[in-house]
């Protein structure tokens, strides 16, 4: 009998990997649509973005590397989509070189017009003629752009004009000092954007010259770099900051929500899925995204892991391994 | 065309990394080394293009912003680490960086990590009209923080009602915290796996709508 328990405790871990693989692959084809209930931490971020408009501005910090892309990317895409739908100007930054590339990927997925409900990107150079004719505001820009023979493609949700709705500032080293510098002037820290365009000329830079004129920074982080936004953004200029962090990091940052230093937090894939649900409920997207789809899988994988932990404990106690004598005899 | 090639390369190397789950093998090691190498190569190129060229090389070569030569020289001193006889020179940029970092960060660190966190613990246990769960939360925060601090107070033996019971409550709360962290860690690891499986099934094989 004991031998059986021992065998169970010493099972080849590759069988467990196989079980996890089955549980992670199969639910993608059998969609269960288990409910994802948004928590207050995520709702706070959503509500703040939802209260903003074209006169406000937000920063989205792509402060992660490919290692945590699966968790952080859906958060970034969800917040970006929400901000674009409300015409909130978005500045994008990155604390690492790889983060800049990932930001470009994330933004490109929102600008992929093959997907219904996405946005059409108008690069800075492309709307130069409209700009030279006299830019007076976002609505007039959109009207002038369409009047110039640019109809909104079918299925697209709206236009995103570089320099008005969106600026990709890119990567700079020693980002903590960059945040400090942006407290005085964003354009001094980033004379050009990631594509070499002059930021001083961009309308959104003229309307939001420094972090004091920005309404929110959402940092999507896979490391403690997210704290720089609080250290130098919140503490110095009072910038509201929201976190989108990996699940591993989430528990570390709950105290900052309670203290009011962080507006809210998206923790891991679940946090991203909650944001997607809120967006769908708010009518900003027709369907939820990748994070929500992954939650069925997540739930089933958790059930399997819980079962395995329980089975392991049963084997441990039923086999008498909890007794010191039993352990000694097997050394 | 390039997109398709990229997808296939990514998929093959994803499978190569997963092959480690069966056992260590050369394909896994190749993928591991390529990830580190390409990441570093990409970072160097981007840093050169985004930082060195526009902020140092271009202005200085045009005779502008010549003060940038000073930090450039300080930066170059790091390279002296490779030459034992002059390696001591690398201490200057390190000292400069650490000194500046400490000077800039110290007041904000104090405010963010200590003062605001202490302030967040000094809350009323009961607020008239507040729901019961807020009161319970306030009690857990106040007494939990105290118990946690008592556990880490080693100048007195952990005996008696205050130090003995307090430290026991403290360790239980710390363990609950660790448990929550472990649970989140499991969730995080599964999320990463889900991300890769989504890529393989959806982006690569096109099996997901």
**What is the DSSP secondary-structure string of A52-116?**
--TT--EEEEEE--GGGHHHHHHHHHHHHHHHHHTT--EEEEESSHHHHHHHHHHHHHHS-TTST
Phi and psi torsions of A192, nearest 5°? -130, 160
Q: Is the backbone of residue A219 left (phi > 0), alpha (psi -120 to 50) or beta?
A: beta
Beta bridge partners of A59: A91, A217
- Chain A residues 169-198 with CB within 8 Å of chain B: 170-173, 176-177, 180, 191-192, 194
pLDDT at B112 over 80: yes
pLDDT at B182 over 80: yes
Least Cα separation, residue A133 to chain B (angstroms):
31
Q: Is the backbone of residue B9 left (phi > 0), alpha (psi -120 to 50) or beta?
A: alpha
pLDDT at A330 over 60: no
A305 Cβ contact partners less than 8 Å away, ≥ 6 residues apart: A20, B186, B190
Q: Which of A27-36, A144-153, B70-79, B172-181 has the lowest mean pLDDT?
A: A27-36
Higher pLDDT, B3 or A268: A268
Cβ proximity of A45 and A263 under 8 Å: yes
Helix A40-50 vs helix A268-281: angle between axes, to the nearest 10 degrees?
50
**Looking up tokens 């288990």, which residue turns up?**
A34
| Other residues' Cβ atoms within 10 Å of the Cβ of residue B100 | 12
Q: Which long-range contacts (CB under 8 A, 24 or more apart) does A155-159 make?
A: A155/A113, A155/A116, A155/A117, A155/A118, A156/A113, A156/A116, A156/A117, A156/A118, A156/A119, A156/A120, A157/A84, A157/A85, A157/A117, A157/A118, A157/A119, A158/A84, A158/A85, A158/A87, A158/A119, A158/A120, A159/A119, A159/A120, A159/A122
- Torsion A293-A284-A170-A197 (CA) sign: positive
Confidence of residue A307 (pLDDT cuts 50, 70, 90): very high
A232 touches chain B (CB under 8 A): yes
Angle at A300 (CA atoms; ends A5, A275), nearest 5 degrees: 145
Interface A-B: count of C-beta contacts within 8 A = 135
Phi and psi torsions of A63, nearest 5°? -95, 40
Encode pLDDT of A280-294 as tens digits. Answer: 999 999 888 889 999
DSSP single-letter state for residue B129 = T
pLDDT of residue A319: 87
Encode pLDDT of A217-226 as tens digits. Answer: 999 999 999 9
Contacts B196 to A, Cβ<8 Å = 70
Confidence of residue A302 (pLDDT cuts 50, 70, 90): very high
Cβ proximity of A292 and A266 under 8 Å: no
Least Cα separation, residue A9 to chain B (angstroms):
19
pLDDT of residue A1: 52
Write down the ipTM of this complex. Answer: 0.89
Cross-chain Cβ contact B198/A70 below 8 Å? yes
Cross-chain Cβ contact B51/A173 below 8 Å? yes
Cross-chain Cβ contact B197/A250 below 8 Å? no
| B137 three-state secondary structure | helix
pLDDT of residue B35: 92
Q: Which long-range contacts (CB under 8 A, 24 or more apart) does A35-38 make?
A: A36/A270, A36/A273, A36/A274, A36/A277, A36/A292, A36/A295, A37/A274, A38/A274, A38/A275, A38/A277, A38/A278
Instruction: Decide the pairing of beta strands A241-245 and A119-122.
Output: unpaired
Report the mean per-residue pLDDT for chain A: 92
pLDDT of residue A55: 95
- Torsion A86-A90-A94-A99 (CA) sign: positive
The distance in angstroms from the start CA to the end CA of chain A is: 19
Cβ proximity of B138 and B121 under 8 Å: no
Query: A75-79, A148-152, A233-237, B152-156 — which one is most confidently predicted on average?
Result: A75-79
Confidence of residue B15 (pLDDT cuts 50, 70, 90): very high
pLDDT of residue B175: 96
Report the mean per-residue pLDDT for chain B: 94
Contacts B141 to A, Cβ<8 Å = 258
What whole-number percentage of chain B has pLDDT above 90?
Answer: 89
Cβ proximity of B11 and B199 under 8 Å: yes
Angle at A165 (CA atoms; ends A161, A168), nearest 5 degrees: 90
Beta bridge partners of A221: A63, A245
Confidence of residue A327 (pLDDT cuts 50, 70, 90): low
Phi and psi torsions of A244, nearest 5°? -125, 95
Q: Is the backbone of residue A152 left (phi > 0), alpha (psi -120 to 50) or beta?
A: beta
Confidence of residue B93 (pLDDT cuts 50, 70, 90): very high
State how far the Cα of B80 lies from the Cα of B83, in Å rounded to an integer. Answer: 5
pLDDT of residue A244: 97
Q: Is the backbone of residue A283 left (phi > 0), alpha (psi -120 to 50) or beta?
A: left
pLDDT of residue A31: 81
Helices (H) and strands (E) in chain B, counts: 8, 0
State how far the Cα of A228 lies from the Cα of A215, in Å rounded to an integer. Answer: 17
pLDDT of residue B208: 86
From residue A229, alpha-carbon distances to A220, A236, A300, B14 in Å are 11, 10, 35, 33
Contacts A270 to B, Cβ<8 Å = 187
State how far the Cα of A78 lies from the Cα of A68, in Å rounded to an integer. Answer: 16
pLDDT at A322 over 90: no
Phi and psi torsions of A58, nearest 5°? -130, 155
Confidence of residue B37 (pLDDT cuts 50, 70, 90): very high
pLDDT of residue A3: 78
What whole-number percentage of chain A has pLDDT above 70?
Answer: 97
Look at residues A308, A316, A274 and name the one whose alpha carbon lies nearest to residue A294: A274
Quote helix, strand, coil % in chain A, to nearest 5.
Answer: 55, 15, 35
The enclosing H or E element of A121 equals: strand A119-122
pLDDT of residue A328: 54
Strand order in the sheet with A166-171: A166-171, A90-94, A58-63, A216-221, A241-245, A265-267
pLDDT of residue A324: 62
pLDDT at A326 over 70: no
Higher pLDDT, B15 or A113: B15
Picking from A98, A258, A302, the nearest residue to B42 by CB comes out as: A98
| CA closest to A272 among chain B residues | B191
Contacts B47 to A, Cβ<8 Å = 97, 171, 173
Encode pLDDT of A162-214 as tens digits. Answer: 999 999 999 999 899 999 999 999 999 998 999 999 999 999 999 999 999 99
pLDDT of residue A133: 87
| CA closest to A181 among chain B residues | B104
Look at residues A71, A65, A21, A96 and name the one whose alpha carbon lies nearest to residue A248: A71
Beta bridge partners of A245: A221, A267
State how far the Cα of A93 lies from the Cα of A172, in Å rounded to an integer. Answer: 8
């Amino acid at each position: 009998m004991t031998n059986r328990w021992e065998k169970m405790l010493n099972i080849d871990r590759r069988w467990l990997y196989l079980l996890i693989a089955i549980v992670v692959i199969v639910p993608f084809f059998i969609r269960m649509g288990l409910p994802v209930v948004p928590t207050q931490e995520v709702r706070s971020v959503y509500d703040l973005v939802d209260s903003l408009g074209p006169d406000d501005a937000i920063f989205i910090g792509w402060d992660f590397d490919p290692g945590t892309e699966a968790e952080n990317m859906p958060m970034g895409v969800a917040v970006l989509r929400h901000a674009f739908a409300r015409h909130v100007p978005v500045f994008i930054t990155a604390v690492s070189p790889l983060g800049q590339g990932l930001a470009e990927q994330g933004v490109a997925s929102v600008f992929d017009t093959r997907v219904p409900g996405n946005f059409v990107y108008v690069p800075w150079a492309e709307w130069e003629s409209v700009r030279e004719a006299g830019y007076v505001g976002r609505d007039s820009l959109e009207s002038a752009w369409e009047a110039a023979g640019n109809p909104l493609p079918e299925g697209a949700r709206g236009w995103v004009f570089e320099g008005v709705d969106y600026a990709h500032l890119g990567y700079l080293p020693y980002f903590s000092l960059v945040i400090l510098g942006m407290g005085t002037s964003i354009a001094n820290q980033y004379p050009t954007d990631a594509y070499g365009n002059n930021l001083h000329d961009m309308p959104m830079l003229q309307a939001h010259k420094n972090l004091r004129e920005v309404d929110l920074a959402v940092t999507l982080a896979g490391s403690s770099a997210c704290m720089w936004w609080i250290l130098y953004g919140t503490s110095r200029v009072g910038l509201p900051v929201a976190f989108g962090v990996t699940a591993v990091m989430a528990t570390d940052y709950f105290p900052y929500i309670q203290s009011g230093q962080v507006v809210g937090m998206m923790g891991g894939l679940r946090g991203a899925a909650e944001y997607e649900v809120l967006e769908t409920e708010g009518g900003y997207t027709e369907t939820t995204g990748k994070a929500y789809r992954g939650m069925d899988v997540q739930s089933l994988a958790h059930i399997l892991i819980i079962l395995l932990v329980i089975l392991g404990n049963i084997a441990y106690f039923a086999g008498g391994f909890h007794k010191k004598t039993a352990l000694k005899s097997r050394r | 065309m390039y997109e398709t090639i990229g997808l296939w390369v990514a998929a093959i190397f994803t499978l190569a990394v997963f092959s480690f789950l069966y056992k260590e093998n050369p394909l896994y090691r190749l993928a591991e080394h390529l990830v580190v190498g390409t990441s570093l190569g990409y970072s160097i190129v981007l840093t050169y293009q985004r930082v060195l060229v526009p902020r140092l090389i271009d202005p200085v070569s045009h005779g502008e912003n010549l003060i940038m030569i000073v930090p450039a020289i300080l930066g170059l001193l790091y390279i002296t680490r490779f030459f034992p006889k002059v390696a001591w020179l690398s201490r200057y940029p390190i000292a400069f960086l650490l000194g500046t970092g400490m000077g800039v960060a110290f007041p904000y660190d104090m405010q963010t990590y200590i003062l605001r966190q202490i302030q967040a613990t000094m809350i009323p246990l009961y607020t008239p009209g507040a729901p019961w769960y807020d009161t319970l939360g306030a009690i857990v925060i106040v007494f939990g923080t105290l118990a946690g601090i008592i556990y880490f107070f080693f100048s007195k033996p952990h005996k008696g009602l205050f130090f003995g019971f307090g430290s026991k409550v403290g360790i239980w709360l710390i363990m609950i915290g660790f448990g929550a962290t472990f649970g989140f860690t499991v969730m995080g690891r599964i999320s990463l796996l889900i991300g890769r499986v989504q890529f393989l099934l959806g982006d690569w094989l096109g099996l997901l709508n």
